[in-house]
Amino acid sequence: MREWEQRGERMSADGGGGGHVRTGFSWLMLVPPAACLLVALPHLVDHRVPSLVTLLLIGPLLACVRFGVRCTLLVCAWAAALGLATDLGDDAVAGFGFGVRFGGLLLGCAVTVHAAGRGERLTAALARSREVARVTQEAVLRPISRTLDGTQVCTRYHCSADESTVGGDLYDVAVTPYGLRVLVGDVRGHGLDALRLTAETITGFRELAYTAPDLPSLADSLDTRLTPELGPEDFVTALLAEFAPGEVRLVNCGHPAPLRSGRSIEFLEPKVPSPPLGLRPDPRQYRVRLQPGDRLLLYTDGLAEGRDPEGIPFPLLGEAALALREPLPEDALSTLHDRLLQHTGAPLADDLALVLCQPVEATVPARVR
């Protein structure tokens, strides 16, 4: 992906986080009222110490930043009570100075309550957005763990963006008259634009996979459909697979080569590389034999480009060989994902899509006499 990003940039040259509202009791809730008490205590103990009524706003401010409206109201009431208590023994209780100080305190309390309410609304809106993103992921990137047209398919997806569950990596499958077809791709970039192109690519695949007579035609049709939607620096790497008895047919448009695991493990590189969709691809199909028990791992560059804190790349071939020994496909993908996290030593900085395919009965087709 990075190589194609650099090429896309050359072609183009030629042509907040918010606060958290907590619910339930927490010991941290004692901090705002304690702050108010610390401000008022010196004057309560010794009236010769100047009264600092306006500084009592520290408590409500802390409450509105960290907690909700209810907690902020309680702290405001506590601050107002302390504000009255600090001047109860003074002769200036009804005086002009006290009125200014206490009025300023009440006004500040009202502002903090309003801010806390707005924070709660923003938090609720964020929760709704995350729920929409979750539902969108299930609709756009359907989790799969089942046998389709004689091939067992299992998927795993990770989005690096905290605010979303759908990123620029994508996959989809279709049981067509030509056999099971699988798409794995990677949209350049992140954010809403990448999400839009992800949805557009998957939608195009679902519409075209059933009618395109072969994978090169399918790749050409996808490129024609996506090109008007792409900006000058946008592109989509794509790997298309079509399963037939005893073999898999592949078209690779600028995507990391898949892995075949069986008696040995190897990358299935195309003989003639092709640019990604949107960069004038030249899709060419190549075929690979599948022996009984062989597995095919399709993935995005979030797996191949994972690095440890010292910058050492993830040893994909060796780690995949170990992980794919797991009998169950779900366990194999979980093991591979866990080993990647152990290698990076931190949450993944890139999106990741994994698709593991294993023909249930892979047999070599008979020769035509």
pLDDT tens track for 227-281? 998 888 899 999 999 999 999 999 999 999 999 999 899 999 999 999 999 999 9
Q: How far apart are CA 184 and CA 231, in angstroms?
A: 21
Number of domains the chain is built from: 2
Q: Are residues 111 and 167 in the same domain?
A: no
Q: Side-chain half-sphere of 10: how many Cα atoms within 13 Å?
A: 7
Same domain membership, residue 179 and residue 64: no
Give the contacts of 320 (CB within 8 A, at least 6 positions apart).
Answer: 259, 261, 265, 297, 336
* Structural domain for 240, as ranges: 141-359
Q: Same domain for 123 and 190? A: no
Residue 62 sits in the same domain as residue 113: yes
**Rounded (10°) CA dihedral 332, 334, 336, 341:** -170
* Segment 185-235, tens digit of pLDDT: 999 866 667 778 888 999 999 999 999 999 999 999 999 999 998 888 899
Residue 211 sits in the same domain as residue 354? yes
Q: Is residue 20 part of a domain?
A: no
**Number of alpha helices (DSSP H) and beta strands (DSSP E) in the chain:** 10, 11
**Please, are residues 1 and 301 in contact by the beta-carbon 8 Å criterion?**
yes
Bridge partners of 285?
251
User: Which of residues 134, 156, 190 is at a domain's end?
Assistant: 134
122 and 251, same domain (yes or no): no
Cα distances from 200 to residues 3, 72, 225, 232, 282, in angstroms, run 23, 45, 9, 17, 21
For tokens 């103990």, name the residue: 45
pLDDT in the model for residue 51:
63
Q: What is the DSSP letter of 354?
A: E
Domain containing 335 — which CATH number? 3.60.40.10
How many residues does this entry show for the chain? 369
369 assigned to some structural domain? no
Of 110, 134, 158, which closes a domain? Answer: 134
pLDDT over 90 percentage in the chain: 45
- Rg of the chain, C-alpha, whole Å: 30
Q: Indicate the helix (H) or strand (E) that contains 229.
A: none
- Three-state DSSP at 183 gives strand
Inside any domain, residue 106? yes
What are 30's two structure tokens?
Answer: 């004692």
Which tokens is 335 given?
């093991």
pLDDT of residue 37: 78
Shared domain for 205 and 299, answered yes or no, is yes
Instruction: Give the per-residue pLDDT at 259.
Output: 97
Position 71: which residue type?
C
- How do residues 97-142 score in pLDDT, each as one tens digit? 666 677 777 888 888 888 888 877 777 766 665 655 555 555 567 8
Exposure of 216 in the CB half-sphere (CA atoms within 13 A): 7
Do 271 and 225 share a structural domain? Answer: yes
Q: What is the pLDDT of residue 316?
A: 95
Provide the 8-state DSSP code for 61. Answer: H
Task: Say whether pLDDT at 96 is over 70.
Answer: no
Domain end (from 113, 134, 155): 134
Strands (E), 130-281: 145-148, 151-158, 169-176, 179-187, 236-244, 247-253, 259-261, 265-267
Asked if 298 and 241 count as a contact pair (C-beta separation under 8 A), the reply is yes
Q: Are 300 and 169 in contact (CB under 8 A)?
A: yes
Supply the pLDDT for residue 15: 45
Please report which confidence band the pLDDT of residue 364 belongs to, taking 50, 70 and 90 as the band edges.
very low
Task: Note the pLDDT tens digit of each residue in 59-73.
Answer: 888 888 778 788 888
Place of tokens 């009431």: 77
Instruction: Quote the CA–CA distance of 325 and 211 in Å, as a whole number.
Output: 36
